[in-house]
Amino acid sequence: ELGGQSQTSLAEDVAVTVAVYICGWSCGSNQNKPTFFKTPPQTTSPPRLNTPIMLLDEDPGTLIHHTIGNFNIHPDKQAVTRINDSLSTLQQSRDLRIRDAESSLRKLSRHLNSLTTQHEEAVAVHDSGKHAAEIVELDTKKFRIAKAASELEIESERLESELEMLKERLADLESQGLEGDEATRREREADDATILRLKIFRSLGIDIEPDEAGNFNRAVIRNSRKGDVHVVNIDPKFSRFFYSNYFWSTMQG
């Protein structure tokens, strides 16, 4: 409908323009005019007949109609159609964006109302005095925990130092073996009478060996002069005097 109205208005404008040009040409000079627009030559008539008279071979309405028909308005009609299509597409796109924006606005409005309600409830149940007391209590706990952590760190460093010392001591003991170093062995032998007696027997060529229970009930007597070795099992039913004489005679024999 819009395209039809535009085309009718365009035809009317063209007709008016042609009519204006016809009037202008008819009122001007005869130079460069069409033959049907030229005014007849003036005669020697009285001055009142000097007004030019326009003579047309055809009816002006017919000329205007033919003139309108000579205009090619099809491209203009196509352009108007394309413009209408573009306007329709733009309007649809605009309506779609408006609907999307309205939907987003409603969603955000609901979210805002929910947050506002939550905020109002939180403000209503908030107790500033209780909150301050909880903050103070939490600060106190924080300082206590920090102090305990510092003390534990110091204790950890002390234990690490003690552990290093014990490791060094263990390494020294492992390097010395089960009997310890020479000074330790001498000190132990000086304090232990049993070790001292065993050492005396060993110097005489007698080795006293313990059994599985740790009792010394076996003696190995070596005679260095003869190269003999005698093994004696000590029986408790014989006295120490007997074994002393036996050991002595065996070493001398």
Q: Confidence band (pLDDT; 50, 70, 90) for 1?
A: very low
Nearest to 224 by CA among 196, 200, 203: 203
Domain membership of residue 63 (yes or no) is: yes
In the prediction, which pLDDT does 84 show?
A: 95
Indicate if 159 and 190 belong to the same structural domain: no
Indicate if 196 and 247 belong to the same structural domain: yes
Indicate if 189 and 171 belong to the same structural domain: no
- pLDDT: which is higher, 115 or 214: 115
- Structural domains counted in the chain: 3
Domain membership of residue 204 (yes or no) is: yes
Helix axes 2-27, 74-125, angle to 10 degrees: 130
In the prediction, which pLDDT does 11 show?
A: 54
Domain membership of residue 161 (yes or no) is: yes
Strands (E), the chain: 206-210, 216-223, 228-233
Domain membership of residue 76 (yes or no) is: no
Indicate if 190 and 246 belong to the same structural domain: yes
The secondary structure of residue 76, as a DSSP letter, is: H
Indicate if 168 and 192 belong to the same structural domain: no
Domain membership of residue 95 (yes or no) is: no
- Mean pLDDT, range 228-242, rounded to an integer: 80
Domain membership of residue 85 (yes or no) is: no
Lowest mean pLDDT among 113-127, 149-163, 173-187: 173-187
Indicate if 195 and 148 belong to the same structural domain: no
Domain membership of residue 110 (yes or no) is: no
Using alpha carbons, list the distances in angstroms from residue 47 to 44, 50, 51, 75: 8, 5, 9, 52
CA distance 140 to 36: 116
Q: Which of 151, 176, 201 is the last residue of a domain?
A: 176
Among 7-21, 149-163, 189-203, the range with the most confident prediction by mean pLDDT is 149-163
Expressed as residue numbers, the domain containing 163 is 127-176
